[in-house]
A and B are shown apart, each in its own frame.
Chain A
Amino acid sequence: MVDLDLNNKQPMIMHVDLNSCYAIIEQQANRLLRHKSIGVAAYTTPRGFIIASSYEAKRQGIKLMRVQDAREIDPNIIILAPDPEKYFDAHRRFRAVLERYTDLVTPKSIDEFIVDFQGSRMVNEGYDLVDVGYRIKKDIKDILGEYVTVNIGIAPNRFLAKVAAGLDKPDGLNVITATGINNVYGQLNLMDLPGINHRYKVRLNLAQIFTPLDFLEAPMYKLKHEVFKSVVGYYWYLRLRGFEVDAQELATRSFGNDFAVHEWTTDREAIARYIMKLSEKTGRRLRRHGYQAHGVYLGLAFSDHTWLGKSRRFRESIYSTQELYSHLVKLLDVMVLPASVIHINISVFDIEPITPIQLSLFDGTRLDSRSLTMATDEINNRYGEFTVVPAKMANMEHIIIKRVPFGSVRDI
């Protein structure tokens, strides 16, 4: 294939990123926390993990790390538990602002949106996207609060728009065009590029690619056949030049939940209780989205740094929490636990939209199980989550709390 030039198309893709999202929302909500080093951690205990830190904390090097490690860097850091409902609200308001400008708004995560202005009314009326970007910044301040800032990147494709949004944090607005690509790549390291992790960096280095400019100059054949050894190399070749390869949205393929165990244990009964609560959460999400599953997965991580994962597929569909739980416990029963369990992960896969029930001759009272599940879901919808729970979940109200999602925003 002939090597391509850079994409000279007018930049029409905007990446809007609410950086340090959870931390900045907390600073907006509590003015006593502003201009201070704060971290939002999944659990506020020393082993809890910081999932977002304020700019003041980031400047000291506090990013994704354990609370105890962050306190070693800054003993005065303020650690807060996450407030998912508040972040979901911020996400919805953030989205509503962007939808004033065009209907082609795609959430990439709770704090990142792609806005496609191709063919939009704003562009047809002759508005400059940079002006639109500044208007969006102001609108977001009006609707979320004066302390909230966003980064905006504008470019011909999603990848470069994200690169542009990351150039000038925390309140930047940058445009990348074909003429400016070399200049931008010249300021960056390979791992500054979205999607380039340590593993990819090693691969690139082995092929004598050490900088984004080397990456850009690498011929397509080399990327496809020597570096990535798959079509991934071709996608990178296009992406770096500003051609769109990331616009396809993936369909939902699985649902899952995980839990970091506070009191590490080898007690199978205790593990089964955690699995029950995770099953209820996952089952509720599966049913709320109108799916049933044909496969389950159980993953356990242990205190000796090992992990085990087991999955199983079924011809019959899995719909109720009880069905999910009983399959997972069977997987647990055949696992040999080498040490205390510190983390539990469950998921359901091979999902399909709920169909009329196909009764099996050997399933006994399965129809009753489904009716019971629908009735308990209805009660929980009406009176709040975990109003009616299986007996195994008794006294577990505050265990496995609602978590903030990374990536997927389908539950918001």
Chain B
Amino acid sequence: MHIKINQQVSVIACYSTKDRRFTPRRISWRNKDYDLGPVDYYHSYMDGRERQHIFELCDKECTLWFRLRLDSLNLHWTLEATHDGNS
């Protein structure tokens, strides 16, 4: 089920010069750490003059999907939504 969260979360991310990609690797949400799998879709959009970066990906066990937003103005991460793959 798709659930809107909209909560700030702690994120560990890394940048690779090899494939020139910035990737979230782990998030901490509701006192639990989730190791993240590959980014399945990344896009960005302008909200006014601020760019918002959206990363959509699952945890490594493929049990939960996350939609993470990185605000380029303040570099805050927000967990916007989750989905467990069921209706």
User: Using an 8 Å CB-CB cutoff, how does the interface string of B38-54 with A read, 1 for contact, 0 for none?
Assistant: 00110111011110001
Chain B residues in 8 Å Cβ range of A32: 58, 62, 64-65, 83-85
Question: Is B83 in contact with A89, judged by CB distance below 8 angstroms?
Answer: no
Closest partner residue, chain A, to B86 (CB atom): A78
Question: Is A86 in contact with B48, judged by CB distance below 8 angstroms?
Answer: no
Question: Is B41 in contact with A145, judged by CB distance below 8 angstroms?
Answer: yes
B interface, by DSSP: helix, strand, loop or mixed? strand
Q: Is A199 an interface residue (CB 8 A)?
A: no
Interface size of A by CB at 8 A reads 28
Closest partner residue, chain B, to A86 (CB atom): B43
Chain B residues in 8 Å Cβ range of A89: 43-45
Q: Is A28 an interface residue (CB 8 A)?
A: yes
Q: Is B87 an interface residue (CB 8 A)?
A: yes
Closest partner residue, chain B, to A74 (CB atom): B87
CA distance A77 to B87 in the complex (A): 6
CA distance A145 to B40 in the complex (A): 7
Q: Is A120 an interface residue (CB 8 A)?
A: no
Q: Is A387 an interface residue (CB 8 A)?
A: yes
CB distance from A140 to the nearest CB of B (A): 14
Closest partner residue, chain B, to A380 (CB atom): B48
- With A80-B2, A145-B40, A384-B47 in contact, is A33–B83 under 8 Å at CB? yes
- Taking a contact as CB atoms closer than 8 A, the residue among A30, A78, A80, A384 that contacts B48 in the complex is A384
Using a CB-CB cutoff of 8 Å, which residues 90-131 of chain A contact chain B? 90
CB distance from B5 to the nearest CB of A (A): 15
Question: Is A86 in contact with B41, judged by CB distance below 8 angstroms?
Answer: yes
Chain A residues in 8 Å Cβ range of B2: 78, 80-81
Most buried by A among B48, B49, B58, B62: B48
Chain A residues in 8 Å Cβ range of B64: 32
Question: Is B85 in contact with A36, judged by CB distance below 8 angstroms?
Answer: yes
Using a CB-CB cutoff of 8 Å, which residues 48-82 of chain B contact chain A? 48-50, 54, 56, 58, 62, 64-65
CA distance A125 to B32 in the complex (A): 57
CB distance from A93 to the nearest CB of B (A): 9
Chain B residues in 8 Å Cβ range of A33: 65, 83, 85
- Taking a contact as CB atoms closer than 8 A, the residue among A29, A36, A79 that contacts B40 in the complex is A29
- With A32-B62, A78-B87, A79-B87 in contact, is A85–B48 under 8 Å at CB? no
Closest partner residue, chain A, to B47 (CB atom): A384
Question: Is A381 in contact with B40, judged by CB distance below 8 angstroms?
Answer: no
Chain A residues in 8 Å Cβ range of B65: 30-33
Question: Is B43 in contact with A31, judged by CB distance below 8 angstroms?
Answer: no
CA distance A75 to B87 in the complex (A): 9
User: Using an 8 Å CB-CB cutoff, how does the interface string of A22-43 with B read, 1 for contact, 0 for none?
Assistant: 0001001111110010000000
Given A32-B64, A81-B2, A86-B41, 20 more contacts at CB 8 Å? A25-B41, A29-B56, A30-B58, A30-B85, A32-B62, A32-B84, A33-B65, A76-B87, A78-B2, A78-B85, A78-B87, A86-B54, A89-B45, A90-B43, A381-B49, A383-B48, A383-B49, A384-B48, A385-B48, A387-B48
**28 A-B residue pairings within 8 Å (CB atoms):** A29-B40, A30-B56, A30-B58, A30-B83, A31-B62, A31-B65, A32-B58, A32-B64, A32-B65, A32-B84, A32-B85, A33-B65, A76-B87, A77-B87, A78-B86, A79-B87, A81-B2, A85-B43, A85-B45, A89-B43, A89-B44, A90-B43, A145-B40, A145-B41, A383-B48, A384-B50, A385-B48, A387-B48
